[in-house]
Amino acid sequence: MTSPSLDTGGAPGTGARHRARTTAPAAPPSSPAASTAPKRPGRDRYLDLLRSIALVRVIVYHIFGWAWLTVIFPSMGVMFALAGSLMARSLARPAWGVIRGRIRRLLPPMWAFSAFVLPVIFYFGWKPVKEEGIWWFVKLAWYVVPVGAPPYPWHSGDASGLLEDTWAVQAAGPLWYIRAYLWFVIASPLLLWAFRRVPWATLFAPLALTAVVGSGLFKIPGETGNAITDFATYGSCWVLGFAHQEGMFEKLPRYVFVSVSSLIMAFGLWWASWHLGPDGWDLNDIPLAQATWSFGFCVILLAYSPSWQRLPGKLAHFDGLITLSNNRAVTIYLWHNLLIMATIPVIDLLWRIPGLWPTYSVYLERAYPVLMLIAVFPLIGLMIMAVGWLEDVAAKRRPRLWPNGATRREAAADGAGPGRTRSHRA
């Protein structure tokens, strides 16, 4: 979910959700937006950098499970804020065409993921009709258009088999984000309309809703409650993207935004300290803390946004990887959990090497998460080449096997003009 900038990070907190849990309409000359909105030609490489960091942080979090990562860098809030900015930018065009285009870019990669996961789940003996009745066939539609929570078994296969028996739960973890992204896309024309008329109320309304549904004051059961909580938790981050695109951060001095956001973040940490979950300071388990901390964090990131057209200094060495991750954000986000689990049988082959077992088995076990981190990126690269081209097809572009912008940079070096990254969500 450009990300779904995922526009693509992790934050499910309950149930099956895993531990990780663009161009604004032209304003009339007399409107505030017309006088303050900055011009942002081409791709903003600062935003692309943030999205790449968010994706890497999600992968690291899902491997190591470090709760403090949700505080150091709230990836999901960042990704929703970036997606909101790109959505506001795109809404300079007719709203229905923008929504249709966003959905079109999202669904083919989702279908490829579903086409792999569903047959494997059935192969391992899932009998949903017996467990849930005929209603299951309606739920199956969420694997095609993910406006709801796709069904899956809590246990699939054998715990001692090639993959642990909770693999289906882990594989389905990223789907909550796809659902939330789709909800935000559909709601964006209305949200942007409201933001332009009552900006501050629209910006803070999701935080108020989170205080109701995410703090226990009002409980909505089941996946409906999870979906509404997700929408509320990250709604202010999405609207922050509107504020960034519309130039709101230029209306007041930066110290005002930083001071207010710091107070909001301090409240989030205070609330978290009194509502620690089973994983301690994991903000994915504490919706109100997640909402306020992510909101304040994104305010600071966007208030100081340099709006780079090119990556500066040593960051330029990572231009290709950043371009690749942004062009394949949906693929990376959808498949990374499954690929993390796929590293397990690969790493276990080390135990078959003569002399390693039992002499070095203790060291291998201690290094297991690090080995998973090393092994997962080649697998992600293979998956990008295998199915990533579907993102190009969905965007009505020529399919590319490895879209890291190398050809464009070479053309720029030869004097053919500046290269610009074109994300699947731009």
Domain ranges of the chain: 45-405
3-state helix, strand, coil in the chain (%, to 5): 65, 0, 35
Number of helices followed by number of strands (H, E) in the chain = 19, 0
Q: What is the DSSP letter of 237?
A: H
Please list the pLDDT of the chain residue by residue as tens digits (426 residues): 444 444 444 433 333 333 333 333 334 443 433 334 444 456 899 999 999 999 999 999 999 999 999 999 999 999 999 999 999 999 999 999 999 999 999 999 999 999 999 999 988 888 887 767 777 778 888 999 999 888 888 888 776 667 778 889 999 889 999 999 999 999 999 999 999 999 999 999 999 999 999 888 888 888 888 999 999 999 999 999 999 999 999 988 999 999 999 999 999 999 999 999 999 999 999 999 999 999 999 999 999 989 899 999 999 999 999 999 999 999 999 999 999 999 999 999 888 888 887 888 888 899 999 999 999 999 999 999 999 999 999 999 999 999 998 776 655 655 544 333 333 333
Inter-CA distances, 407 with 85, 393, 411, 413, 421, Å:
27, 19, 6, 10, 11
Give the predicted TM-score (pTM) of the model.
0.86
Q: What is the DSSP letter of 25?
A: P
Paired residues of 6 in beta bridges: 3
The residue among 25, 85, 41, 115 whose CA lies nearest residue 420 is: 41
Report the distance separating Cα 300 and Cα 59, nearest Å: 24
- Cβ neighbours for 268, distance < 8 A, ≥ 6 positions apart: 283, 288, 289, 290, 291, 292, 293, 296
- Cβ neighbours for 379, distance < 8 A, ≥ 6 positions apart: 339, 342, 343, 346
- The length of the chain is 426
